[in-house]
Amino acid sequence: MIKIVKRDQPSRAIFFFTPVLAIFLTLVAGGLIFFILGFKPFEALKFFFIVPIADKYGFSELLLKATPLCLIAIGLSFCFKSNNWNIGAEGQLTFGAIVSGGVALLFYEQEGFYILPIVILAGAIGGMLYASIPAILKTYFNTNEILVSLMLVYVSKLILDYLVVGPWSNPEGFNFPETRQFSDSAKLPLLFEGLRIHAGIFLALAAVVISWFVFYKTYLGFQMKVSGFSLKTAKYAGYKGKKMIILVFLISGACAGLAGVGEITGPIGQLHREISPDYGFTAIIVAFLGRLHPVGIIFASLVVAITYLGAETAQIFMQIPKYTGQVFQGMILFFLLASDYLLFFKIKFIGSKK
Partner 1 sequence: MHKFLIRSFVSSLVLIFTLTVAAVAKDVKAAFVYIGPTGDHGWTYQHDVGRKAVEAAGFKTTYVEGVPESADAERVLRQLANSGHDVIFTTSFGYMNPTNKVAKEFPNVKFEHATGYKREHPNVSTYAARFYEGRTILGTIAGTMTKSNVIGYVASFPIPEVIRGINSFTLAAQKVNPNIKTKIVWAFTWYDPGKEAEAAKALIDQGADVIAQHTDSTAIVQMAEKAGVYAFGQASDMDKFAPKAVLTSVENNWGPYYVDRVKAVANGTWNQKDTWHGIGDGMVVISDLDSQMPADLRSKVKKLQADLASGKVHSFTGPIYDQKGNLMVAEGKTADDGMLAGMMTYVKGVEGDIPK
Q: Which residues bind partner 1 (CB under 8 A)?
A: 57, 61, 64, 158, 161, 165-167, 174-178, 181, 196, 263, 266-270, 272-277, 308-309, 312-313, 315-317, 319, 321-323
The DSSP bridge pattern shows strands 2-6 and 345-349 to be: antiparallel
- Closer to partner 1 at the Cβ: 112 or 277? 277
User: Cα dist. 235→77, 134, 155, 230, 298 in Å?
Assistant: 21, 21, 34, 9, 32
CB of 179 to partner 1, least distance (A): 11
Strand segments, DSSP code E, in the chain are 2-6, 345-349
CB of 101 to partner 1, least distance (A): 14
CB of 320 to partner 1, least distance (A): 11
- Closer to partner 1 at the Cβ: 176 or 229? 176
CB of 115 to partner 1, least distance (A): 21
User: Cα dist. 27→14, 55, 180, 307, 335 in Å?
Assistant: 19, 22, 43, 11, 11
Distance CA 175, CA 171 (A): 7
- Closer to partner 1 at the Cβ: 277 or 330? 277
- Closer to partner 1 at the Cβ: 128 or 303? 303
In 3D space, the residue among 294, 288, 243, 275 whose CA is nearest the CA of residue 123 turns out to be 275
The DSSP result for 46-102, as a single string, is HHHHTGGGSSHHHHHHHHHHHHHHHHHHHHHHHHHHTT-----HHHHHHHHHHHHHH
- Closer to partner 1 at the Cβ: 119 or 320? 320
CB of 174 to partner 1, least distance (A): 6
CB of 176 to partner 1, least distance (A): 6
β-partners of residue 5 are 346
User: Taking a C-beta distance cutoff of 8 angstroms, is the pair 333, 289 a contact?
Assistant: yes
β-partners of residue 6 are 345
- Closer to partner 1 at the Cβ: 10 or 166? 166
User: Taking a C-beta distance cutoff of 8 angstroms, is the pair 136, 162 a contact?
Assistant: no
CB of 59 to partner 1, least distance (A): 12
- Closer to partner 1 at the Cβ: 65 or 293? 65
